[in-house]
Chain A
């Protein structure tokens, strides 16, 4: 049986069910509203596993699910190419991971400016310029590839846009779709500060055990979805 991890609630669940439904794979929740179980119709050998979207990367990495639907931001942050393969981009759940600085930093427009501002900031304040984020790996890899120095990442698991006003960070790196919340918190996105353009995707675990029956079931699912007949 292929275990397919899907988001258990909200907009992401509905979009996900719609995407599969449009391809003849009907998914629905069963039981009461509060019970996390579901069924898949229209294809053999696939069982849905309803999970919080945030837990799907971990379950893929552990091989407890064969397939999973979750945002590419979470997967790229937490997993490596040797753990999962992208099967298909699903075209919803769009959000950008960006770097934003106070709008009053009129001298900072690009990553290059941020780097220079960080040097000055460290000299003036005696500590490295703090960037609040929960995407440590993606942000660090991005800044390292751009050769930015004199910054530090501070962990922020929520309300990241408020950290600058609250004095716990000088800048932030966070997910935004419209930029509305950033503006409301007096922040501005760097013109070249797009770290990752995220959307929901279907992932295959390279860690899970794929029996020949699983691979056969996958081929049936893949035919409906219009993707390659093997998961990776």
Chain B
């Protein structure tokens, strides 16, 4: 068992390294307003984070990570470009029987920089690699931006694309939707019955027939979605070739350099991913400049999809079998727009668990 003091010392060492790399050390409150986090991550976060009640401030959450408060602070009064570092406890409920701890130190590094996102991606990755060298960790990378570009480029309705994009971080529902939109899965029986009924009468008439009106969701909203369902039923399926490319993309796992040539190969058939693939290529160049061997670097197109839903570009983690990820991070441009009330800045960052680093060092000492 690694002592708390050893973990703290490891955290301090990593924090000092982030500061030496140009970051300003920042603090964040442990008690965060629950509403902001719930609105961002949805109800699922309750299963992971501790929620408590304050008689004056309402529902509060024990900080499940630093990203949100750091982004908020930057959006409120940060100068650009900015690099921040932090060290402190985060709190996560652990599944029954799991060996993970529910309170642990996290040390992180975040870059807010408009000039060259790919350079910033490579900077963060290379910095983490250098700090974790010798621990026997395997880096894994991904790029959610390519996936999102592929969905945006599908030849189908905006409504279907929006439905898929909304569920990029929920692979089960994403696949169910894609299966249905591409005609691979039959329309569910309940939906068929619904469509039959909608054919028989106007939505408003059906709503009136359904009984006493209750609830905040208005008849107009109900009727609008009913009409959209009818319209969607008449939409041709996503072309088999296009769907096949997307399925192929979802399961793409290869060394990064090889993944790039594969992506270049399918770009003529899925031209919408072109700009995202160019950014991927630029990132690999930036990584090579930092001495990363991209011929060996693992790339998984679906990496990071089950993490908290804010990564929307480059994602990475440093892993070892039988352990939670020792470090992870990625790009979260969209999050800055959500928290920035209209303002936006490209952002990338990551966190390391000093406890796991200390444990690995202890084992190898």
- Does A159 interact with chain B (Cβ within 8 Å)? no
Cβ–Cβ contact B43 & A140, under 8 A: yes
Of the candidates A104, A107, A148, the one whose C-beta lies within 8 Å of that of B225 is A107
The interface centre, meaning the residue of A107, A113, A136, A146 with most chain B CB atoms within 10 A of its CB, is A107
Q: How large is the interface on A (under 10, 10 to 19, 20 to 34, 35 or more residues)?
A: 35 or more
User: Is B226 in the interface zone, CB < 8 Å from A?
Assistant: yes
CB-CB under 8 A from B176, the residues of chain A are 112, 147
For B167, B171, B194, B216, the residue with the greatest tally of chain A CB atoms inside 10 Å of its CB is B216
Q: Does B73 contact A (CB under 8 A)?
A: no
Docked-complex contact A109 and B194, CB < 8 angstroms: yes
Is the beta-carbon distance between A117 and B217 smaller than 8 angstroms? yes
Which residues on B sit within 8 Å (CB–CB) of A153? 43, 46
Q: Within the complex, which residue of B188, B194, B213 is in contact with A107, where a contact is CB–CB below 8 Å?
A: B194
Complex: A112 Cα to B191 Cα, angstroms: 9
Interface bits A140-178 vs B (CB < 8 Å: 1, else 0) = 110111111111110000000000110100100000000
Distance, CA A207 to CA B205, complexed state (A):
57
Cα distance A124–B225 when bound, in Å?
Answer: 12
Are B217 and A105 in contact (CB-based, < 8 A)? yes
Q: How far is the CA of A146 from the CA of B193 in the complex (A)?
A: 21
Which residue in A81, A107, A167, A186 is a CB contact (below 8 Å) of B212? Answer: A186
B226 touches A107 (CB 8 A): yes
Decide if B173 is an interface residue (CB 8 Å cutoff). yes
B188 A112 Cβ-Cβ under 8 A: yes
The interface bits of chain A over 96-118 (1 if a CB of B lies within 8 angstroms of the residue's CB, else 0) are 00000011111101101101110
User: Given A80-B96, A144-B44, A104 and B39 touching (CB < 8 A)?
Assistant: no
Smallest CB gap from B177: residue in A: A112
Q: Is there an interface contact between A128 and B42, defined as CB atoms closer than 8 Å?
A: yes
CA distance A112 to B185 in the complex (A): 14
Beta-carbon nearest neighbor of A192 in chain B:
B190
User: Please, which residues of chain B bring their CB within 8 A of the CB of A117?
Assistant: 217, 225
What CA separation (Å) do A140 and B194 show in the bound complex?
A: 26
A33 at the binding interface (Cβ < 8 Å): no
Contacting pair A186 B211 (CB below 8 A): yes
| B354 lies within 8 A of chain A by Cβ | no
Q: Please, which residues of chain B bring their CB within 8 A of the CB of A125? A: 216-217
B8 interface hit (Cβ, 8 Å): no
Given A112-B188, A119-B166, A146-B172 in contact, is the A186-B214 Cβ separation under 8 Å? yes
Q: Mark B204-231, 1 if CB is under 8 A from A, else 0.
A: 0011001111111111011011100100
- Residue numbers in B under 8 Å from A119 (CB-CB): 163, 166
Using a CB–CB cutoff of 8 Å, the interface residues on chain A facing chain B are 80-82, 102-107, 109-110, 112-113, 115-117, 119-121, 124-125, 128, 136-137, 140-141, 143-153, 164-165, 167, 170, 185-187, 191-192
The 9 nearest A-B residue pairs measured at CB: A147-B173, A147-B170, A109-B190, A80-B96, A191-B190, A107-B226, A107-B225, A102-B215, A104-B210
